[in-house]
């Protein structure tokens, strides 16, 4: 080919490519404005705040082109109807705890926490590298939801009780606000379990509509003020060893996003997932000290109560597995993973934690005396 002719045709080609490329770039970075309904009250800057952290990062990664406006529980959607709102495309996104929807199918619980289940690290390991996310996405697809891990509280406290729990008998007839599948386990031990959104628990406990309530842990519980109306603070929250929060995206809305925005959203959720656990871990120790100084009476659940609850949970799992194949499919993966994790953890992590817990105790006591 003649060199001059080649340059000329190449030049035309380049000009044509530029003319085509400009609108193509505009299309890959469109203005997108979404609404997100959280299940949580604004006052809880960690569990609610994670959605804001995520939305801010999505905006900054997309040059403010992809905006997600975050609404608190009840603002545009009732706290426990986030799933329905995303499923029906009333809103594009939600931030919630999937175990609020176990009334539709108990399988939802695996996306948050199940009694005597995985802790935060184990949950992340199962989700990201143990097949959990894939199994849950298969399940959520039926609800038009693309779920993305977006936060964790770590092991929770057992909650606030007006009366001491000394035996399994003490649980009989107790009206207890408790999250998720644990309500059905505790029902086997005589508890009258209640699901109440975070923002509505305090008035119910204050009025005596309920006898006891659990939420998350010291950092949140202090803000919600439970210690003012129930002084016995029990641990551990065996029903929530590592409850994960999820961002829900309507599947059609998800598919409508340019790939770069999908990546931005996934990365921002991963950041919020880490951020939430870190904020709780950093804030809980001081909050617990303040609660104790303010009169909270710390109590471990008696061994007998823990064992009876463990047995009741296993009984409930066997019953649910027998009638719900979707539940069983995820249960088998989740529990096999849990047992493997515990057998490994027993060697290094648990033995180290156990040693450190004892070795630092006198120093902690001295610090408490000074404080």
Residues engaged in binding Ca ion (CB under 5 A): 156, 179, 214, 240
Residue 239 beta carbon to Ca ion: minimum distance, rounded to whole angstroms? 7
Phi and psi (nearest 5°) for 137? -65, -35
The total number of residues written for the chain in this structure: 371
Which single residue brings its beta carbon nearest to Ca ion? Answer: 179
Residue 257 beta carbon to Ca ion: minimum distance, rounded to whole angstroms? 32
Spell out the residues 6+ positions from residue 32 whose beta carbon is closer than 8 angstroms to its own.
65, 66, 67, 257, 261
Nearest residue (CB) to Ca ion, 214 versus 271: 214
CB 245 within 8 A of CB 112: yes
Nearest residue (CB) to Ca ion, 236 versus 302: 236
Residue 158 beta carbon to Ca ion: minimum distance, rounded to whole angstroms? 9
163, β-bridge pairs: none
Two tokens at 288?
């617990």
Residue 165 beta carbon to Ca ion: minimum distance, rounded to whole angstroms? 17
What one-character-per-residue DSSP string does 45-109 give?
Answer: TTTTHHHHHHHHHHHHHTTT-EEEEEE-TTTSS-GGGHHHHHHTTSSSEEEE-GGGGTTT-GGGG
Nearest residue (CB) to Ca ion, 106 versus 179: 179
Residue 369 beta carbon to Ca ion: minimum distance, rounded to whole angstroms? 32
Residue 226 beta carbon to Ca ion: minimum distance, rounded to whole angstroms? 12
Nearest residue (CB) to Ca ion, 155 versus 270: 155
Nearest residue (CB) to Ca ion, 211 versus 214: 214
Residue 314 beta carbon to Ca ion: minimum distance, rounded to whole angstroms? 21
Spell out the residues 6+ positions from residue 272 whose beta carbon is closer than 8 angstroms to its own.
50, 51, 53, 54, 57, 150, 151, 247
d(CA 328, CA 332): 6
Residues 97, 126, 261, 43, Cα dihedral to 10°: 30
Nearest residue (CB) to Ca ion, 92 versus 240: 240
Number of other residues whose CB lies within 10 A of the CB of residue 370 = 6
CB 229 within 8 A of CB 205: yes
Nearest residue (CB) to Ca ion, 82 versus 249: 82
Residue 219 beta carbon to Ca ion: minimum distance, rounded to whole angstroms? 13
Nearest residue (CB) to Ca ion, 214 versus 222: 214
């Amino acid at each position: 080919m003649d060199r001059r002719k080649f340059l000329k045709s190449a030049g035309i080609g380049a000009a044509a490519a530029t003319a085509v490329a400009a609108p193509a770039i505009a299309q890959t970075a469109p203005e997108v404005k979404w609404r997100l309904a959280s299940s949580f009250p604004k006052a809880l800057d960690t569990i609610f705040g994670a959605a804001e952290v995520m939305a801010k990062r999505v905006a900054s990664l997309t040059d403010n082109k992809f905006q997600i406006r975050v609404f608190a529980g009840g603002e545009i959607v009732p706290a426990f109807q986030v799933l329905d709102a995303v499923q029906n495309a009333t809103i594009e996104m939600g931030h919630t705890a999937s175990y609020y929807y176990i009334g539709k199918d108990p399988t939802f619980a695996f996306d948050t926490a199940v009694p005597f289940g995985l802790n935060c690290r184990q949950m992340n390991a199962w989700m990201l590298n143990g097949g959990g996310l894939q199994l849950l996405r298969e399940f959520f697809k039926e609800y038009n939801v693309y779920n993305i891990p977006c936060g964790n509280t770590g092991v929770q406290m057992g909650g606030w009780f007006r009366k001491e729990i000394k035996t399994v008998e003490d649980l009989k007839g107790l009206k207890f606000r408790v999250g998720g599948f644990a309500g059905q386990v505790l029902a086997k031990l005589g508890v009258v379990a209640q699901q109440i959104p975070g923002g509505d628990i305090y008035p119910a406990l204050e009025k005596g509509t309920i006898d006891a309530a659990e939420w998350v842990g010291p950092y949140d519980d202090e803000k919600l003020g439970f210690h003012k109306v129930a002084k016995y603070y029990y641990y551990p929250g065996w029903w929530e060893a590592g409850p994960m929060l999820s961002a829900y995206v309507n599947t059609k809305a998800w598919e409508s996003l340019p790939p770069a925005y999908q990546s931005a959203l996934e990365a921002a959720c991963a950041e919020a997932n880490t951020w939430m656990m870190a904020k709780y871990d950093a804030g809980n120790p001081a909050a617990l000290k303040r609660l104790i100084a303010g009169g909270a009476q710390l109590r471990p659940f008696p061994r007998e109560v823990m064992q009876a609850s463990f047995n009741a949970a296993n009984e409930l799992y066997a019953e649910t597995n027998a009638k719900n194949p979707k539940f069983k499919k995820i249960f088998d993966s989740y529990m096999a993973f849990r047992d493997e994790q515990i057998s490994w953890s027993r060697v290094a992590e648990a033995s180290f934690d156990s040693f450190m817990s004892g070795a630092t105790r006198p120093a902690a006591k001295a610090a408490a005396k000074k404080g």
